[in-house]
Amino acid sequence: MNYRHAYHAGNFADVLKHTVLFALIEALQAKSTPFAFVDTHAGSGCYALDSTEAGKTGEYKGGIARLLFPDLHASAGRSEPLPPLLRRWLDAILRVPGNEHGLKLYPGSPLQVASAMREADSAQLCELHPEEAARLRELFRHDHRVHVHGRNGYEALKALLPPKEKRGLVLIDPPYEAQDAEYRVIEQALKLALQRWPTGVYAVWYPIKLRSQVQPFHRWLQRCGARRVLRAELLVHPDDSPLRLNGSGMVILNAPWKLDDVLRDSLRAMAPLLSQERRAEWRLDWLVEEAQA
């Protein structure tokens, strides 16, 4: 309950997470039938980059700002245009009301998805922190497609799945205040969710400090029963220190077909732009790959 994403909005981890999320939403939009979006840890939905919180860390300057203003990052060495997926995502960020004259606001996952949703699509947003949930309700007070739940997102999955649309995406993006124990909670939530809605797409964000902290979760995913599990990671520091966020990852259960092909160029392009003391490293591979007939 102490974590506030306002301090970290738009950082390098958000760039990875929201690029993957944007690709997933585009994949869902490829079909005309409606989809449902469920966010278990929604936050407040939108963050002012000139706020006291964002100003204290300035993390967005090493994240979203690097992609929008690459010339300010002398070591990037990029001369080619950004891949189409990244360009479309950045354009969507700049279309958020309030960003008409430049990057002033960073939209969280709920607002990014809602901005892309069609009339028949729906979003169920869970947020336990009372102040964050209140801001979320205010943000979407006129949007009938969006429903805010002030409750534990893991527990809410029991009531929200399967959605009436029968297809869609669950985003699990907790603050990991419980650290290693959070993975066990996620595993239990995914186990029950897959039983209730085996065809749903599930995307889980995770921090990378020590590689050994993440490996048991990846081993569990390999036997979780999902048809496909794709892993995407970006590391700006070596994964050998528990004292800082060295990188982050996303795993996508029941990943849409050829999502890896969609993401590969974007990960390759963002790595040099998001590099810090050393060149950033990226990984994109299948933890579970569906057998071909």
Annotation marks residue 173 as catalytic: yes
Q: Which two tokens stand for residue 223?
A: 């036997």
- For residues 47 and 70, give the distance between their C-alpha atoms in angstroms, rounded to a whole number: 22
The contacts of residue 216 (CB under 8 Å, 6+ apart) are 183
- For residues 270 and 267, give the distance between their C-alpha atoms in angstroms, rounded to a whole number: 5
Q: What are phi and psi of 246, to 5 degrees?
A: -90, -20
- For residues 245 and 181, give the distance between their C-alpha atoms in angstroms, rounded to a whole number: 17
> What amino acid is encoded at 72 in this protein?
L
- For residues 91 and 8, give the distance between their C-alpha atoms in angstroms, rounded to a whole number: 21
Segment holding 206, helix H or strand E = strand 201-208
What stretches of 30-164 show up as alpha helix (H) in DSSP?
52-57, 64-68, 84-94, 109-116, 130-139, 153-160
> What amino acid is encoded at 109 in this protein?
S
Q: How many CA atoms lie within 13 A of 144 on its CB side?
A: 2
Give me the residue label for tokens 């534990």. 152
- For residues 17 and 76, give the distance between their C-alpha atoms in angstroms, rounded to a whole number: 21
Which one of the listed residues 173, 180, 239, 265 is annotated catalytic? Answer: 173
Residues carrying an active site annotation: 173
